[in-house]
Amino acid sequence: MRHVILGAGVAGLASVEAIRSVDKQSEIIMLGDDPHGFYSRPGLAYYITGELPDKALFPQTREDYARLNFKYHKCRVAKIYRAEKKVELDGRTYLSYDKLLIATGAKALPLTVPGAGLKGVVKLDHLEDAHQILSVAKRGKTAVVVGGGITALELTEGLLARGVKVHYLLRGDRYWSNVLDEHESRIVEGRLQEEGVTLNFHAELVEVIGKSGKVGAVRLLDGRTIKCDILAYAIGIKPRADLARDAELALDRGILVNEFLQTNDPDIYAAGDVAQVYDPISGRSVLDSLWHPAREQGYAAGLNMAGRRKSYIKGAPFNVTRLAGLTTTIIGAVGQGRDEDILGIARGDSETWRQLPDAIVAQGGFDTNHVRILVGEKTLIGAIVMGDQTLSTPLQKIIANKIDISKIHDKLLARDAKIADVIVDFWSHHLTTA
């Protein structure tokens, strides 16, 4: 039996671990086109701020890889031949498979304005991008950041940490409007301004102006120009699904899979950012670009490839991230609408977050310690915790396990409710009686 894994990210590696947990003998071959192989994508933000050394991005040791007993080839896969059950590699060599996993991830949407190819235009999609950002930041004095979501802030804070003055352009009237409410957006914006970031609202980039082949300024729709040496963008990501499309696998925005992570070809599986998975919360197939779901999907796919029937039930998505230096946990369905700064989905985002559930909002705290919960009839549907993370784990468990909160429903919605106290007391009692 030969298992072939396309992609060296967390979903691909998790699939190898899963296969080896039940099958020590079968051949496993991983194919990837990233020159650095497997590394921590979420760690890139902390690498460009200088908080993590590059070695810390590589959590796996040689011994770890040896124990998993798989082969890794750095190459580009050109085509999947489903009928012959083989893949074509660059150089027109072929590799047969019994089971195939597509875990090719997603790639940053390109910037399409005039001047986007100038030197000094950067994104943060992979490790080579991070190296490029550090290189231009050594010479750059002023940067413009375009886009929304987590990656735009990672770019902003990374450049700030390197001593670069930053202008942040927002097409709308606030930051990440499809996930955060107005109060939460203002908390983030206020902290950015305190750090020295210049915020530009209702600002749409129309051109990058070159000077000797390098970024010299940007022009906005209203005619304004901002002089800069660097333009950093994060306008969304797109699943790397070209191979699947050419192989005529079922696609929507990503590769459509069933509960066993199988595509419409029973010998081909998909997991991670490239896979579009059924979400029982929203009742439709959605995209995630989160580390934890990618790992879980990869592991479930690996078990299924090895012959163990393991269904993947998508839970409430959560992410612990940092927004303008403020630790923030996002759980379940919390948002609404779409964000003008993001085309599709952003890195570190989940489409489930964007759902506006049939729920009542309760909020507590102020300034840098803030909690917002969405209260359904008998369960909590979503939550955002900014600052103090005491409530993060209890809320994650309560939402993910759909724990009945009928006893505290009215307390949470009472005027001037002390939400933190109500949740902590409820969780403590639940643990002692469970």
The model's pLDDT over 341-397, given as tens digits with 9 standing for 90+, comes to: 998 889 999 998 988 777 889 888 766 789 999 999 999 999 999 999 999 999 999
Same domain, 247 and 213: no
The edge-to-edge listing of strands for the beta sheet with 268-270 is: 71-74, 27-32, 2-6, 99-102, 268-270
Distant-in-sequence, close-in-space partners of 366: CB < 8 Å, separation ≥ 6: none
Query: In the listed set 272, 305, 338, which residue is the last one of a domain according to the structure?
Result: 305
CATH number, residue 269: 3.50.50.60
Let me know if residue 245 belongs to a domain.
yes
Does the pLDDT at position 190 exceed 70?
yes
Segment 38-46 mean pLDDT: 95
- The CA distance from 246 to 174, in Å, is 39
Let me know if residue 87 belongs to a domain.
yes
The model's pLDDT over 45-66, given as tens digits with 9 standing for 90+, comes to 999 999 999 999 999 888 999 9
Let me know if residue 9 belongs to a domain.
yes
Same domain, 42 and 136: no
Residue 366: its pLDDT value, please? 61
Bigger pLDDT: 281 vs 6: 6
Amino acid at the residue 10: V
Which helix (H) or strand (E) segment holds residue 365: the answer is strand 360-366
Q: Strand, helix or coil at 26? A: coil
Distant-in-sequence, close-in-space partners of 416: CB < 8 Å, separation ≥ 6: none
Let me know if residue 8 belongs to a domain.
yes
Same domain, 83 and 192: no
Residue 355 CA to its chain's centroid (Å) = 17
Question: Which residue range(s) make up the domain with 82?
Answer: 2-107+237-305
The CA distances from residue 47 to 196, 358, 393, in Å, are 21, 40, 26
Instruction: For residue 310, give both structure tokens.
Output: 């393991």
Let me know if residue 313 belongs to a domain.
no
Same domain, 137 and 283: no
Distant-in-sequence, close-in-space partners of 55: CB < 8 Å, separation ≥ 6: none
Let me know if residue 201 belongs to a domain.
yes
Does the pLDDT at position 433 exceed 90?
no
Do the Cβ atoms of 191 and 326 come closer than 8 Å? yes
pTM of the predicted protein model: 0.94
Amino acid at the residue 290: L
Q: Domains in the chain: how many in total?
A: 3
Let me know if residue 170 belongs to a domain.
yes
Segment 143-153 mean pLDDT: 96
Query: In the listed set 252, 273, 305, which residue is the last one of a domain according to the structure?
Result: 305
Buried b / exposed e across 348-367, counting CB within 10 Å, b at 16+? bbbbbbbbebebeebebbee
Query: In the listed set 305, 334, 357, which residue is the last one of a domain according to the structure?
Result: 305
Same domain, 298 and 325: no
Strand partners, 284: 279
CATH number, residue 345: 3.30.390.30
Segment 285-297 mean pLDDT: 95
Segment 247-267 mean pLDDT: 97
